[in-house]
Structure 1
Amino acid sequence: MTDNIDDGRHDFDFFHGRWHTVGRKLVDVTDRTCSEWVEFEGAGECRPILGGLGNVDTLTVPALPPGGQPMDGATLRLFDPATGIWRIWWMSSRMPGVLDTPVAGRFDGGRGIFEGPDEFDGVPVLVRFEWHVVDGDRAEWAQRFSWDDGATWDDVNYTFTHTRVGPPGV
């Protein structure tokens, strides 16, 4: 569904389609002293839902390091027209039956910042997703953590570079 409403509901329209994804992550994203990075590739697809007020994307990684196990993941994004806020939930085969706590935020131009609380081993942390729309065929996503309620943010610990390979499948 395409309309002329400019309240933020179209901010993720750029991501509808099929993508080749190159991921890069710290071996242990929760270890603030970890400096060892691993890289991997995957394939994904994003489709609109709810008349454009949300979308779902899937990501398949044949071999996620370390260990080389396959991983399937999915993201649910929902837009609230009353607030102009997007909420983003992540789920994966690495943690079956778990839907991560959502992050929330919005785009300003071609950059989006989405934050929310989480917990690792009983320690509270704020998670930040950062989206950057490079152009219509390339987008970048990064993740950071704050262990002090947003006063400071760690360096990026996970990235995806998405390159378009086609429109959504049939």
Structure 2
Amino acid sequence: MSASDFDFFHGRWHVANRKIDDIPGRGTAWVEFEAECDARPLLGGAGIIDTITAPGWEGMTLRQYDPAADVWRIWWASTRAPGHLDPPLEGRFTDGHGVFFGDDVVGGHEVKVRFDWTTGASPTWRQQFSYDGGATWAENWVMTFSRA
């Protein structure tokens, strides 16, 4: 693991999204939509920021590598929660697969959050929630990226 783990993600992307429509209510209806993403390095390569734009909303992710702890931290914000920066997730990459964990409150419910990143020509990001302390996980959002 190193500060270059997210180098694969620099640049412009088309994003195919598949997402549970109503996560706070623990909905089950999946929606699909397209988005655009622009990711760039910062802080001498030890950080990366991206913006993602879809019809009706915009999001932003900040990732920063902490060499002392040997972890990446990931923060998320979007126009769906103005003025709110989600608590960070922490994790690392092993053999092209990144796993990141954190705690949040979604729809008034405490939830454990997991991000899975798979690198390669078409990187994929998956989000999962656990409402039982991590005993079980339910996938609720998948983004598949292709170069713009």
Report the equivalent of 2:18: 24
Q: Is this contact kept in 2: 1:126–1:146, CA < 8 A?
A: yes
State the TM-score, normalized to the length of structure 1.
Answer: 0.83
1:121: Cα distance to partner?
3.5
Report the equivalent of 1:56: 49
The yes-or-no answer on 1:11 pairing with 2:9 is no
Q: Match of 2:140, as an amino acid?
A: N
1:162: Cα distance to partner?
0.6
Aligned length: 148
Give SS of 1:157's match: strand
Map 1:2-151; keep pairs closer than 5 Å: 7-32=1-26, 34-61=27-54, 63=55, 70-133=56-119, 135=120, 137-151=121-135
Computing the radius of gyration over CA atoms, which structure comes out larger, 1 or 2?
A: 1
1:9: Cα distance to partner?
1.0
Q: Is this contact kept in 1: 2:123–2:144, CA < 8 A?
A: yes
Q: Match of 1:22, as an amino acid?
A: A
| Structure 1 segments unaligned to the other structure (5+ residues) | 1-6, 64-69, 166-170
Note the alpha carbon deviations across 1:8-52, whole angstroms, 9 max, x for none.
2111000001000011101112334x3211111011111000001
1:146: Cα distance to partner?
0.9
Distance 2:107 2:18 in 1: 23
Report the equivalent of 2:143: 160
Q: Is this contact kept in 2: 1:29–1:158, CA < 8 A?
A: no
Distance 2:59 2:45 in 1: 21
| Structure 2 segments unaligned to the other structure (5+ residues) | none
